[in-house]
Amino acid sequence: MLKKVTSTLLFLILFSSAFSQDLTAVEIVQKSIDLINGKTNQGETQMTIVRPKYERTIAMKSWSYGSDYFMIYITEPARDKGQVFMKREKDMWNWMPSVSRMIKIPSSMMAQSWMGSDFTNDDLVKMNSLEKDYTQRLLGEEEVGGYPCYQIELIPRPESAVVWGKVVIWIAKGEWYQMKTEFYDEDMEIVNRMESSQITQFGDRKLPAKMVMTPVNKKGQSTVIITRKMEFDVGLESDFFSQQNMKKVR
């Protein structure tokens, strides 16, 4: 009898530990998102837009609260200095101090490129709920940029408002960096590739400092984002993200 109980217990312990080690695709993705966002964060970033004939660098300060609120203050170039972008839940605003105008970015402008980069306004606003819009599957493991990674495939549900045919993410094992992301169209042809590198210590955590977004079919075109400074859990409240504050932040 006792023997039986012990063996059952042993089995249970073994089973549960095995279970806890084998993370599901959903959990892996969630961990990587938590790592990037924190509860709140504040940082300084530099974005370089690379085009075949020119390059343009924009520097900015950013504040964010969860994935629903963020504010971006442009510090460079001088021409755009002082412009503020704010997202509150589903809406996005733009404050232009040069003309003293507050604009709510209308839906018709959401798909336009943000500040001329390879990101659209929509990319900034819409965080498709990963669980609601995609089915997630662990494909296997692969090394990217010197880190062993989980390779996870996200397939959008047919009725979800997602343009991609699939998205594949490589997430570093144990570190949870999103090392690489590939976006495919419905014919499973690759459209965009995002790669991360330069793992750096930011506050209490390590993150890739450099992200490169490359539209695969557009030669000589890419957007490079370099994080200069980033602090997490800085004690921002959601009321920080107001139109009044947009005019005040520096």
Partner 1 sequence: MIAKLAWRNVWRNKVRSLVVIIATTLGISGALFIAALISGMMDKWVQNQIETELSDIQIHQEDFVIEEDQKFFFEKEDLERQLTAFANEIKEKAYRIKAEGLAMSAHNTYQVILLGVDPDQEPKVTNISNYIREGAYFKEPGRIKQILISQKLADELKVRMNSKVVINLSDIEGEIVGEAFKVVGIFKTSSGIFDESHVFVKNDEFAKVLKMKPGQYHELAIRTGEEVEVEAFQTELQQGLDADLMAESWIQMSPALKMTEGYMDTFNWILLSVVLTALIFGIINTMLMVVLERTREIGMLRSLGLNDRKVGLMFILETIYLSITGAIVGNILSFFLINYFGNKGIHFESWEEGFEAYGLQAVIYPILELNFYVLVTLLVFFTGLLASYFPVRKAIRLDISTAIRN
- Of the pair 170, 183, the CB lying nearest partner 1 is at 183
DSSP-derived 3-state class of residue 147 = strand
Give bridge partners of residue 74 from the DSSP assignment.
60
163 binds partner 1 (CB under 8 A): yes
In our burial notation (b when 16+ CB lie closer than 10 A, e otherwise), range 140-177 reads eeeebbebebbbbbbbbeeeeebebbbbbbbbbeebbb
191 binds partner 1 (CB under 8 A): yes
22 binds partner 1 (CB under 8 A): no
Identify the CA nearest to 47 among candidates 75, 78, 79, 67.
75
Q: Checking DSSP bridges between strand 40-50 and strand 205-215, what pairing results, if any?
A: unpaired
CA–CA distances in Å: residue 205 to residues 64, 109, 143, 160, 231: 16, 35, 21, 33, 9
- Considering only 52, 140, 146, 158, the residue that binds partner 1 (CB under 8 A) is 158
108 binds partner 1 (CB under 8 A): yes
Show the 3-state SS of 169-214.
EEEECCCCCEEEEEEECCCCCEEEEEEEEEEEEECCEEEEEEEEEE
- Of the pair 16, 129, the CB lying nearest partner 1 is at 129
Min dist. Cβ of residue 229 to partner 1 (A)? 31
1 binds partner 1 (CB under 8 A): no
110 binds partner 1 (CB under 8 A): yes
- Of the pair 141, 186, the CB lying nearest partner 1 is at 186
CA–CA distances in Å: residue 76 to residues 7, 16, 144: 66, 53, 33
Each residue 195-224 as x (binds partner 1 by CB under 8 A) or -, in order, gives ----------------------x-------
107 binds partner 1 (CB under 8 A): yes
- Considering only 90, 101, 219, 250, the residue that binds partner 1 (CB under 8 A) is 90
111 binds partner 1 (CB under 8 A): yes
- Of the pair 143, 186, the CB lying nearest partner 1 is at 186
26 binds partner 1 (CB under 8 A): no
Q: Which residues bind partner 1 (CB under 8 A)?
A: 90-91, 106-108, 110-112, 120, 122, 125-126, 158-165, 183-186, 191, 217
